[in-house]
Amino acid sequence: MRLSALAERLGLVAEGDGDLEITAAASLDAAGPGELSFVTSARWAERLPDSKAGAVVLPAGVDSGGRPALRSERPRRDFARAVALLHPPLQPAAGVDAGASVAPDARVHSEASVGARAVVGARSSVGPRTAIHPGAVLYADVEVGADCEIHAGCVLREGTRVGDRVTLQPGVLLGGDGFGFEPGDDGEWEKVPQVGRVVIEDDVEIGAGSTVDRASLGETRIRRGAKLDNLVMVAHNCDIGENAIVVAQSGLSGGTRIGRRAILMARTGTVGHLEVGEGAFVGARSSVARSVPAGARVFGSPAVAERTWHRAMAALWRLPDALRRLRRLEKRVDGLDGESGDA
């Protein structure tokens, strides 16, 4: 794609040779003469003289060193958009592979793709331009909308509902039983039936190896635009709000509600039946034991307000020195006690 055409598609201003053919996107260190890279600041631009990139995306006022450029207020985002144009995903051919298993009463759109050894169960449906990749399994009564990517090894249990433009990375499990057991009279654990379902709304992406449990009753719901990283565990009856983000290795206990645009960083854990409010931020490795107000920023285990956490961490780093001073004072006090006794 010519640089000028790329600029037009992205709504950016091109500088320099607009006829330059851009064949791919690459990092600044690895890019070649026909490839596009990016810088986000003048400091990063100091690396430009050592780069062979044919063109760069960079902010206004940052010197491109005379090489062709696309000016952007948000270079990282616009570079990502350029990557999507220059490296479109491979779309499997429409149709059902001879090695797939599709129930007679399942409905697979003629523009959809079902790969080898994939399974589409009874009464399930697959929408147009959706790809069910090899080895994915849809149980009975599953609905998957249009333009979805259900990657290899995904399992969608019975009754699961998936909207449009949803991406499930390899190994995602939707609709497994929630963890529900009650002690019986004989001391043995009795399983609580999990008879609800999972609902995934439009434009959601769920990372590899993540699990979303079916509700014990009702629904576990992930709302429009939410993004879950790899290895995230969502328990029964959770509700994750629109455009919320849950980062890797986080776990949400049953009944947790996450508000719109809230962010939970890596290895966050919540106890059940609490709420993280709209736009809240939970720092990495935090343990959330009570509800977090909208817009709040919390850190730590147990999670506390950001200011309190920073003060606690600052005090923690001063603790060894404080202990040394305390020991010196104790020795002085012991010495004074000894002198008093001699007198």
The predicted structure's pLDDT at residue 144 = 98
Residue 338: its pLDDT value, please? 66
pLDDT of residue 22: 96
Q: pLDDT at position 91, please?
A: 85
Which residue is associated with the tokens 């010196």? 328
**Average pLDDT across the chain, whole number:** 95
Write out the DSSP string of 111-172: T-EE-TT-EE-TT-EE-TT-EE-TT-EE-TT-EE-SS-EE-TT-EE-TT-EE-SS-EE-TT-
Residues 6+ apart with CB under 8 A from 218: 196, 237
Work out the number of other CB atoms within 10 angstroms of the CB of residue 295.
13
Q: What is the pLDDT of residues 275-299, one digit of tens each?
A: 999 999 999 999 999 999 999 999 9
Q: How far is the C-alpha of 283 from the C-alpha of 272, rounded, in Å?
A: 18
Q: Which two tokens stand for residue 92?
A: 């499997």
Q: What are the beta bridge partners of residue 258?
A: 240, 276
CA 236, CA 226: separation in Å to the nearest integer? 17
Report the range of poorest mean pLDDT among 101-105, 180-184, 255-259, 261-265: 180-184
What was the pLDDT predicted at 313? 87
Going across the sheet that includes 13-15, the strands are: 13-15, 69-71, 55-58, 35-38, 24-25
pLDDT, position 342 = 60
- What superfamily would CATH give domain 3-86? MurE/MurF, N-terminal domain (3.40.1390.10)
Q: Is the pLDDT of residue 125 over 60?
A: yes
Would you please indicate which residues are annotated as catalytic (active-site) residues? 236
Confidence of residue 316 (pLDDT cuts 50, 70, 90): confident
Q: State how far the Cα of 218 lies from the Cα of 200, in Å rounded to an integer.
A: 14
Measured distance CA(83)–CA(39) in Å, rounded: 14
Listed range (3-7, 62-66, 92-96) with the worst mean pLDDT: 62-66
Q: What tokens were used for 293?
A: 């107000």
What's the whole-number mean pLDDT along residues 72-99?
A: 94
Q: Across residues 167-175, what is the average pLDDT? A: 98
Q: What is the pLDDT of residues 213-251, one digit of tens each?
A: 999 999 999 999 999 999 999 999 999 999 999 999 999
Tens digits of per-residue pLDDT, 30-83? 999 999 999 999 998 899 999 999 999 999 999 998 999 999 999 999 999 999
For the chain, give every residue range classified as CATH 2.160.10.10: 95-304
Q: Does domain 95-304 fall into CATH 2.160.10.10?
A: yes
* 343 pLDDT more than 60: no
Q: CB 254: neighbour CB atoms within 10 A?
A: 20
Task: Using the structure block, give the residue that is written with the tokens 């609905």.
Answer: 143
Pinpoint the residues of the chain covered by CATH 3.40.1390.10.
3-86
